[in-house]
Amino acid sequence: MTSTEPVAAPPGVMTDLFDKAHAFTIAHETKASGLYPYFLAMEGNEGTEAIYQGRRILMFGSNNYLGLTTHPKVREASQQAVADFGTSCTGSRFLNGTLELHLQLERELAAWVGKEAALVFSTGMQTNLGVVSSLVGRFDTVILDKDDHASIVDAARLSWGQIKRYRHNDMEQLDRMLADVPDDRGKLVVVDGLYSMEGDLAPLPEIVELCKRYGARLMVDDAHSLGVMGDGHGTSAHFGVTESVDLVMSTFSKSLASLGGFIAGDDQIVHYIQHHARSLIFSASIPPANAAAALAALQVMEAEPERVIQVHQNADRLRFGLRDLGFDTGASVTPVIPVIVGDDTLTFFMWKQLLDAGVYVNAIISPATPKGRQLLRTSVMATHTADQLDRVLEAFEQVGKQVGLI
* H or E stretch covering 108: helix 100-113
pLDDT tens for 92-151 read 999 999 999 999 999 999 999 999 999 999 999 999 999 999 999 999 999 999 999 999
Question: What are 120's strand-pairing partners?
Answer: 262
Written as one letter, the residue type at 115 is K
pLDDT tens for 31-73 read 999 999 999 999 998 899 999 999 999 999 999 999 999 999 9
**pLDDT score for 1:** 54
Q: How many CB atoms lie within 10 A of CB 345?
A: 13
Domain boundaries, the chain: 32-61+305-403, 70-303
pLDDT tens for 288-312 read 999 999 999 999 999 999 999 999 9
pLDDT value at 4 more than 60: no
- Work out the mean pLDDT of the chain and round it to a whole number: 96
Q: Is 71 helix (H, G, I), strand (E, B) or coil?
A: coil
Q: 216 pLDDT band (50/70/90 cuts)?
A: very high
Furthest CA-CA distance within the chain: 67
Q: Is 210 helix (H, G, I), strand (E, B) or coil?
A: helix
CATH number of 32-61+305-403: 3.90.1150.10
Q: Are 216 and 178 in contact (CB under 8 A)?
A: yes
**pLDDT score for 366:** 85
Q: Is 401 helix (H, G, I), strand (E, B) or coil?
A: helix
Q: Is 154 helix (H, G, I), strand (E, B) or coil?
A: helix
CATH number of 70-303: 3.40.640.10
Phi then psi for 41, rounded to 5 degrees? -95, 115
Task: Give the whole-angstrom CA distance, residue 313 versus residue 335.
Answer: 9
Q: Are 185 and 142 in contact (CB under 8 A)?
A: no
**pLDDT score for 6:** 64
CA angle 397, 402, 403 (to 5 degrees): 105
pLDDT value at 226 more than 80: yes
**pLDDT score for 374:** 96
- At a CB cut-off of 8 Å and minimum separation 6, what does 96 contact? 89, 90
